[in-house]
Chain A
């Protein structure tokens, strides 16, 4: 029997009787990170990395039964050894390492090898079988170093201010928004944010994360506050009456999808920054190679392409269908 199996409920460990990021309610769920497509409602028990606990409570309610563990800490389910290791995707994100009778499987969840300054840096793990995401599994996706991207964003904000415009940056409310705030904290006097970003922000500040203070936009916020301001909003705020109050403003979208011109033109953005919390093509290859895995399962993204490419490189790779979407594409009802 395989250490991990792909079932209708999610990725399952029969010997340990637990699921990783299940998409249907189960008894025991081990969660890679707090995004809605990975941490879902209705499980009886959740296990996640310590930093994920408050985020899970925020998303799923204070009454969930959740246990936090530190990166690298080992726990046992029916003798199956489980540990969580940094995935570099967002605060508290983890790869799940599962070891049974000396055989090691690792489920990556979402990950990126580049250190974003906030999330614990991605840790390559040796394993026999690696389950990898492939959100950006095409060689056209090669990210510029983040320093360059943030320089571009800073320059863009500066140019908007010269032109008397506010800068509205669209970024996913959990993860990307904090990454922006962390890297831009010295580049603006203050930040105005949408409620969907203010809420997790407050939680993270309480937890002591080194983030700048933000001001939540409410119906009472005076129009004068928006002049030349830096505003961060979730992608769902686009095309929404909520944005009108910022005029005059320029719209910038922060997402890996902005790598391709057509995507940016379609969104009618003034600027697109290909800033992603997922691995790019070289990052995926580097991660897979570092595991030394004999067997690779490829989940959500360009899974068939990436699996075929790995097969041609002599790695036993297969595509698997999961219910993980891409949080950058999904419009979350909470936002």
Chain B
């Protein structure tokens, strides 16, 4: 466990990719075989079944330390992480046990059918046997959400280096269903590798943001316009009678989206599609938040499939009948794509529609409707262009709409989590309604680290009251809040709900008396409201 705790510590502290890669390679070269399988499983989304829950951990810690509920909560709000809070609160252990990672994980697995008191005594014994760093990772293994600055991609690269295998091939090897309890890394990596080449995606072509008007792009007829959606950019590959789904982060995500499985039967062999994975219902995309419930999960529940169904909105065809057609002009690729989508005839595979327009003025007006459609703006693609590699200027442009903004005053603050622990970073903002202040949104991001420190310092000196973790502050600091959409809501006191609210800038120049009003917010709702995406 010590070795794994050291690895986690290094990975979460280091900001240098090379350092992390080196530490991982070293770990994979020296750790016990069973530990390696577990690490691979943990960081590729194969989290073990939860046998103990967070509430139990919290209660047992409170009992063990004789700390009351309110004091525990104060600690938790300062630390911002349950696993770490518990590790810090427990007194030093008295019976150290130097057992490897897999020992603890297997013991945890065996608790599945155990009764409460058996679980409790196992956990208390474990805490007593581990040091503070080990306890933290032990608790993390139970509570999940192992966000320690290690992506699946980085782990694949480290393994690729250790075992001298191509990263894409390796990604393929570690995909699929396997159980770390009875499969070693060596067994996974020595399997027959023919399938791996079949899975390999093409590098994505990425657009630059269009600054200013599109007139500079030249003749309208040379360009194709599509709506821009906020989903997961991906490639669907059908080769050698197998289906693979890749994200832009070079992650093989086939198993996360079982909706695409029927495409295996319907797509011809030797096909690669580029497009966007979107949550979609009744012909319209759902907010990105619903898609987020599907990310980071290996096993999708039935409930999630119902609440957040996905489609693949295809916009390009990169391989056709086994041939790489990226050098063909977009117009030709698109003709083939249209034909393919029609032939497939499945609602899970859709075509990103082309927007009809005669001139740039007309397109500019259409762009103004993006918000109503729940779209982020437009994509402009040159019809004669090949499909390029990486982010290149010239042929693809994203033309996003400007966010809506409103000036508001901060009224509540709460401490953040992770890197922002023990700092007030989560704020609630209000607009004026006569003499009253009406809270209408929270926002967590948008300030620089320096500004956050400054605001945190101010909050600590200007707080009025405390309600649990929340402090009310003097309504003085004014911020410009930007957001992508607005919809009416009867769950909110203000009567509105915002989409993607964030802090655009700190209006040090503006006194609180001059902030926007509830009436201003309702006006924005009248003009921009009823956005189905909000």
Which A residues are in CB contact (< 8 Å) with B70?
308
Picked from A261, A272, A302, A329, the residue with its CB within 8 Å of the CB of B81 is: A261
Q: Any chain B CB within 8 A of the CB of A314? A: no
Picked from A138, A257, A260, the residue with its CB within 8 Å of the CB of B74 is: A138
10 further A-B contacts with Cβ under 8 Å, apart from A261-B81, A272-B13, are A138-B75, A139-B71, A139-B89, A140-B88, A259-B88, A261-B12, A261-B84, A262-B80, A262-B418, A263-B422
Which B residues are in CB contact (< 8 Å) with A309?
71
Number of B interface residues in the complex (CB < 8 A): 30
Known: A140-B88, A304-B466, A312-B68. A266 touches B423 (CB 8 A): yes
Which A residues are in CB contact (< 8 Å) with B80?
260, 262
For the complex, give the distance between the alpha carbons of A302 and B70 in Å. Answer: 14
> Shortest 10 CB-CB distances between A and B: which pairs?
A262-B421, A140-B88, A266-B419, A265-B419, A140-B75, A305-B74, A268-B15, A262-B419, A260-B79, A138-B75
Question: Are B71's CB and A260's CB within 8 A?
Answer: no
Question: Are A265's CB and B74's CB within 8 A?
Answer: no
Question: Are A139's CB and B14's CB within 8 A?
Answer: no
Known: A261-B84, A265-B13. A139 touches B419 (CB 8 A): no
**Smallest distance from the beta carbon of A69 to chain B beta carbons, Å?**
33
Chain A, residues 243-272, CB within 8 Å of chain B (1/0): the string is: 000000000000001011111111011111
For the complex, give the distance between the alpha carbons of A329 and B456 in Å. Answer: 11
Picked from A257, A304, A305, the residue with its CB within 8 Å of the CB of B422 is: A257
Which B residues are in CB contact (< 8 Å) with A272?
13
Question: Are B78's CB and A138's CB within 8 A?
Answer: yes
Would you mind naming 25 contact pairs between A and B with Cβ atoms under 8 Å apart? A138-B74, A138-B75, A139-B65, A139-B75, A140-B75, A140-B89, A260-B79, A260-B88, A260-B421, A261-B13, A261-B84, A262-B79, A262-B80, A262-B81, A262-B419, A262-B421, A263-B421, A264-B13, A265-B12, A268-B15, A269-B13, A271-B13, A272-B13, A302-B74, A302-B78
Binding site for A on B (CB under 8 A): 12-15, 65, 67-68, 70-71, 74-75, 78-81, 84-85, 88-89, 136, 417-423, 449, 457, 466
For the complex, give the distance between the alpha carbons of A270 and B422 in Å. Answer: 20
Known: A140-B88, A266-B423. A305 touches B71 (CB 8 A): yes
Dominant secondary structure at the B interface: helix
For the complex, give the distance between the alpha carbons of A126 and B444 in Å. Answer: 47
**Smallest distance from the beta carbon of A165 to chain B beta carbons, Å?**
12
Question: Are A266's CB and B449's CB within 8 A?
Answer: yes
**Smallest distance from the beta carbon of B456 to chain A beta carbons, Å?**
10
Among A257, A265, A302, A329, find the residue whose CB has the most chain B CB atoms closer than 10 A.
A265
Q: Which residue of B lies closest to A137 (CB)?
A: B74
For the complex, give the distance between the alpha carbons of A269 and B71 in Å. Answer: 29
**Smallest distance from the beta carbon of B11 to chain A beta carbons, Å?**
11
Which A residues are in CB contact (< 8 Å) with B421?
260-263
Q: Any chain B CB within 8 A of the CB of A185? A: no
For the complex, give the distance between the alpha carbons of A152 and B449 in Å. Answer: 29
Question: Are A270's CB and B89's CB within 8 A?
Answer: no
Which A residues are in CB contact (< 8 Å) with B74?
138, 302, 305
A284-303: which residues lie under 8 A (CB-CB) from chain B? 302
Question: Are B84's CB and A260's CB within 8 A?
Answer: yes
For the complex, give the distance between the alpha carbons of A264 and B420 in Å. Answer: 10
Picked from A140, A264, A268, A270, the residue with its CB within 8 Å of the CB of B78 is: A140
**Smallest distance from the beta carbon of A305 to chain B beta carbons, Å?**
5
Picked from B88, B420, B457, the residue with its CB within 8 Å of the CB of A266 is: B420
Which A residues are in CB contact (< 8 Å) with B67?
139
Picked from B14, B78, B89, B457, the residue with its CB within 8 Å of the CB of A260 is: B78
For the complex, give the distance between the alpha carbons of A271 and B88 in Å. Answer: 18
Question: Are A270's CB and B85's CB within 8 A?
Answer: no
Which B residues are in CB contact (< 8 Å) with A265?
12-13, 418-419
Which B residues are in CB contact (< 8 Å) with A139?
65, 67, 71, 75, 89
**Smallest distance from the beta carbon of B466 to chain A beta carbons, Å?**
7
Interface size for chain A: under 10, 10 to 19, 20 to 34, or 35 or more residues?
A: 20 to 34
Known: A262-B418, A262-B422, A265-B419. A140 touches B79 (CB 8 A): yes
Q: Any chain B CB within 8 A of the CB of A40? A: no
Q: Any chain B CB within 8 A of the CB of A183? A: no
Q: Any chain B CB within 8 A of the CB of A318? A: no
Q: Which residue of B lies closest to A270 (CB)?
A: B13
Among B136, B422, B449, find the residue whose CB has the most chain A CB atoms closer than 10 A.
B422
For the complex, give the distance between the alpha carbons of A257 and B420 in Å. Answer: 13
For the complex, give the distance between the alpha carbons of A14 and B303 in Å. Answer: 69
**Smallest distance from the beta carbon of A298 to chain B beta carbons, Å?**
14
Q: Any chain B CB within 8 A of the CB of A190? A: no
Known: A305-B74, A309-B71. A140 touches B85 (CB 8 A): yes
**Smallest distance from the beta carbon of A121 to chain B beta carbons, Å?**
24
Question: Are B88's CB and A262's CB within 8 A?
Answer: no
Q: Which residue of A lies closest to B91 (CB)?
A: A142
Q: Which residue of B lies closest to A305 (CB)?
A: B74
**Smallest distance from the beta carbon of A179 to chain B beta carbons, Å?**
23
Which B residues are in CB contact (< 8 Å) with A305?
71, 74
Q: Which residue of B lies closest to A304 (CB)?
A: B466
For the complex, give the distance between the alpha carbons of A270 and B11 in Å. Answer: 11
Which B residues are in CB contact (< 8 Å) with A257?
422
Which A residues are in CB contact (< 8 Å) with B418?
262, 265
**Smallest distance from the beta carbon of A253 to chain B beta carbons, Å?**
11
For the complex, give the distance between the alpha carbons of A260 and B89 in Å. Answer: 12
Chain A, residues 107-145, CB within 8 Å of chain B (1/0): the string is: 000000000000000000000000000000011111000
For the complex, give the distance between the alpha carbons of A140 and B89 in Å. Answer: 5
Which A residues are in CB contact (< 8 Å) with B423?
266
Question: Are B13's CB and A260's CB within 8 A?
Answer: no
Which A residues are in CB contact (< 8 Å) with B420?
262, 266
Among A257, A259, A260, A268, find the residue whose CB has the most chain B CB atoms closer than 10 A.
A260
Question: Are A270's CB and B466's CB within 8 A?
Answer: no
For the complex, give the distance between the alpha carbons of A272 and B81 in Å. Answer: 18
A153-192: which residues lie under 8 A (CB-CB) from chain B? none
For the complex, give the distance between the alpha carbons of A142 and B65 in Å. Answer: 13
Which B residues are in CB contact (< 8 Å) with A259?
88
**Smallest distance from the beta carbon of A238 to chain B beta carbons, Å?**
11
Which B residues are in CB contact (< 8 Å) with A308?
70
Which A residues are in CB contact (< 8 Å) with B12?
261, 265
For the complex, give the distance between the alpha carbons of A263 and B423 in Å. Answer: 9
Which B residues are in CB contact (< 8 Å) with A270?
13-14
Question: Are A142's CB and B88's CB within 8 A?
Answer: yes
Q: Which residue of B lies closest to A257 (CB)?
A: B422
Which B residues are in CB contact (< 8 Å) with A264?
13
Which B residues are in CB contact (< 8 Å) with A266?
419-420, 423, 449
For the complex, give the distance between the alpha carbons of A35 and B200 in Å. Answer: 62
Which A residues are in CB contact (< 8 Å) with B457?
329
Q: Which residue of B lies closest to A329 (CB)?
A: B457
**Smallest distance from the beta carbon of A204 to chain B beta carbons, Å?**
30
Which B residues are in CB contact (< 8 Å) with A142?
88
For the complex, give the distance between the alpha carbons of A69 and B423 in Å. Answer: 40
**Smallest distance from the beta carbon of B35 to chain A beta carbons, Å?**
22
**Smallest distance from the beta carbon of B174 to chain A beta carbons, Å?**
28
**Smallest distance from the beta carbon of A170 to chain B beta carbons, Å?**
15
Chain A, residues 309-321, CB within 8 Å of chain B (1/0): the string is: 1001000000000
**Smallest distance from the beta carbon of B54 to chain A beta carbons, Å?**
17
Q: Which residue of B lies closest to A264 (CB)?
A: B13
Which A residues are in CB contact (< 8 Å) with B75?
138-140
**Smallest distance from the beta carbon of A151 to chain B beta carbons, Å?**
15
For the complex, give the distance between the alpha carbons of A304 and B12 in Å. Answer: 32
